[in-house]
Structure 1
Amino acid sequence: MQRIIIGITGASGVIYGIRALQLLRDLPGIETHVVISPAALRTALHEVDMPASEIQALCDHEYKHKDIGAAIASGSFRTAGMLVAPCSIKTLSGIAHCYDNDLIVRAADVCLKERRRVVLMLRETPLHAGHIALMDQATRNGAIIMPPVPAFYSKPRSLDEMVTQSVGRALDLFDIHLPVVRRWTEDTTED
Structure 2
Amino acid sequence: MRLIIGITGSTGVLYGIRMLEVLKKLGIETHLVMSEWAEKCIGMETDYDLDSVKSLATSVSDEKNMASSISSGTHKIDGMVVAPCSMKTLSAIANGYDDTLVARAAGVTIKESRKLILMVRETPLSAIHLENMLKLSRLGVVILPPVTEFYTKPKTIDDIVNHGVGKCLDQFDLEHNLYPRWGSS
Q: Normalising to structure 2: TM-score of the pair?
A: 0.97
Which segment is superposed worse, 150-159 or 160-169? 150-159
1:151–1:166 contact (8 Å) kept in structure 2: no
Give 1:96 deviation, angstroms.
0.5
Give structure 1 stretches of 5+ with no counterpart.
none
1:152 aligns with one of 143, 150, 153: 150
Identity of aligned residues (%): 45
Structure 2 Cα separation of the partners of residues 171 and 68 of structure 1: 27
The residue number in structure 1 matching 2:14 is 15
1:169–1:181 contact (8 Å) kept in structure 2: no
The residue number in structure 2 matching 1:25 is 24
Residues 1:134 and 2:132 are matched in the alignment: yes
Give 1:140 deviation, angstroms.
2.1
1:71–1:77 contact (8 Å) kept in structure 2: yes
The residue number in structure 1 matching 2:120 is 122
Structure 2 Cα separation of the partners of residues 142 and 98 of structure 1: 15
2:8–2:38 contact (8 Å) kept in structure 1: yes
The residue number in structure 1 matching 2:72 is 74
Structure 1 Cα separation of the partners of residues 41 and 153 of structure 2: 28
Aligned AA (1:184): W
Give structure 2 stretches of 5+ with no counterpart.
none
2:159–2:179 contact (8 Å) kept in structure 1: no
2:91–2:132 contact (8 Å) kept in structure 1: yes
Query: Structure 1 segments of 4 or more deviating over 6 A?
Result: none
The residue number in structure 1 matching 2:62 is 64
Aligned length: 185
Give 1:78 deviation, angstroms.
1.1
Q: Deviations over 1:5-32 (max 9, x none)?
A: 000000000000000001111213x100
